[in-house]
Structures are given as C-alpha cells and as structure tokens.
Amino acid sequence: MKKRRKNIALFGLSANPVTDRGGHGEIVKALLAMKRIKTNGDDDDDDKLYDEVWVVPVYRHAFESKNDAMLKTKMPNFQQRCEMCEKQFSIPGEGKTSVKRVKVRRIELEATEWKRKVTGDADATIVGTFELLDYLRNVYEKEKDDFEKRNIEYTFVMGKDAYDDLIGGKWIRGDEILKTTNLVVVPRISSTAPTTATATPTMIKEAKSVVFLDNISGLRDVSSTAVREATSSGKKPSTIEELNPFVAEFIEENRLYK
C-alpha cells in the first residue's frame, strides 16, 4: 500500500494576543476535527484530514500598513507572541509540550534568516506567503533525513478578509498560491455586513482547492483588538473569558498592552 502524504494545515496569525474560546482556539479545534474523504483502495483507518496543525505566528507582515498598525498597539515581540501560542496549545503540567497534533512553528523567522543568508542582505525579510511556502517545500523539507517527513501536503488557513485580498490581486504571486496550495477560508464573524472581493473566472478555475469552513461550533465575534483594548483600559487579563488562563497569566506577568 502506498503511504499517503502527510497533510499539514498552516494557521498563520499575528497572535497579538492569541485568543481561546470563540476565537483562535475554536478554529484550531475545527481544523483538528476535519475528516478526509477516503478513496478506493485506501486501507488507512485514520480518517483525520490533517495529521498536524502548525500554528505560525507572523514574524513580519507583508503589508507595511499592518506592520505599522501592530507597532502602534505596543505589540509584543515575536518571541513573546510565540510563547503565548505555546501556552495556548500546551498541556497543563507539561510545560511547552504541544497538544497532540498542534505544533507552534517559528518558520517565518527561520525563512527570514535563510533568505538573509543566501542573499547576503542582512535586512531581507519574507515578503509574502508564496516565499514561505517555497521555503517549506524546497529548503525546510530537504533538510529532513527521513523521506516520510518530506512527503508533505500543505494547506494554508486564512481569514475571509485575507482571502478577499488574495483573489482581489493584492497578494504577491497570489495567482501561484491559488494554483499550488490547498486553502481553507475561515468566516468573518462580525456585526457589520462583510465585503467580498471579486475574483476573475480564471483565478477561480485554476485554484487548486478552496474550502470555506462556515460551520465552526463556538466561533464568535472575538478579536485580539478587543482584548488589547480591554487590557489597556485596566481590565485584568485573567477576567477576560476569551483568553486561555495561561495566556492571561503571561500577559499579566509581562505587563503587555499597558
């Protein structure tokens, strides 16, 4: 029997901060619960769609406007945002041991360091999702000794706003991302009417796979912005129900968003 490819969902987020109930935590649970459709001759009893979900904190946004906006929020540094993600998805009592099938990966930083090395440009940064995927497929995987660890299919998870930007032509090499990468689109939960970008027929026709994850149980209008504003206004993070207690404790100990 031919071993099927390992399927990994890449969930990129700013983690400023990472949210739990109603937010990021619900999205990860939904991804873990997704089932694959078996084909004829498939003898694998495991029906989970994703072998692992990689939580990928943003090192630097491709859009400078987003970088500027994050800096104005007194954004925690990259290491702090990664640590919050590790605490969100850690097993109580086991430190940074990830919840089964969930891994926090610093691959945006790794890719940036690799690019600086090969280009000789100390200021080089990852400019978009395509370069990150290119790094994973052509550099990261080739560094693995075990072939099975290199036999990977990546799925990129994004919010509806990001998808609208992608099909609206705002992403660098967005057409190539659509052609080569499976996408899962998470709905925007908001009291305001959503806006929808218009994709050209060619873009949609040539897209590899786009799945809209519309029925996420427990997903609410939870935002990191609201958490930051509540904290900066004096509310104790430990009283904010959208935060994992370990993340709330980290925010309090490091006096973030003050």
Inside any domain, residue 201: yes
Whose structure tokens read 């799925």? 155
Inside any domain, residue 69: yes
Both ends of the chain: CA-CA distance in Å?
57
- Helix residue ranges per DSSP H, 120-173: 129-135, 147-150, 160-167
Q: What is the pLDDT of residue 99?
A: 64
Looking up residue 190, the CATH number of its domain turns out to be 3.40.50.620
Inside any domain, residue 252: no
- pLDDT at position 105 over 70: yes
Task: Give how many domains the chain has, as a whole number.
Answer: 1
Instruction: Note if the bond before 17 is cis, omega within 30 degrees.
Output: yes
pTM (2 decimals)?
0.85
The residue among 258, 191, 200, 201 whose CA lies nearest residue 230 is 258
Inside any domain, residue 257: no
The model's confidence at residue 187, banded by pLDDT at 50, 70 and 90, is confident
87/51 Cα distance (integer angstroms): 21
Strand order in the sheet with 182-186: 102-104, 52-57, 6-13, 152-159, 182-186, 209-212
Range of the domain at 212: 6-220
Q: What is the pLDDT of residue 197?
A: 45
- pLDDT at position 191 over 50: no
Inside any domain, residue 71: yes
- pLDDT at position 115 over 60: yes
Inside any domain, residue 243: no
238/122 Cα distance (integer angstroms): 40
pLDDT, one tens digit per residue, over 202-256 is 444 556 888 888 778 888 889 999 999 999 999 999 999 999 999 999 999 999 9
The residue among 159, 92, 166, 77 whose CA lies nearest residue 129 is 166
Inside any domain, residue 58: yes
Beta bridge pairs of residue 52: 8
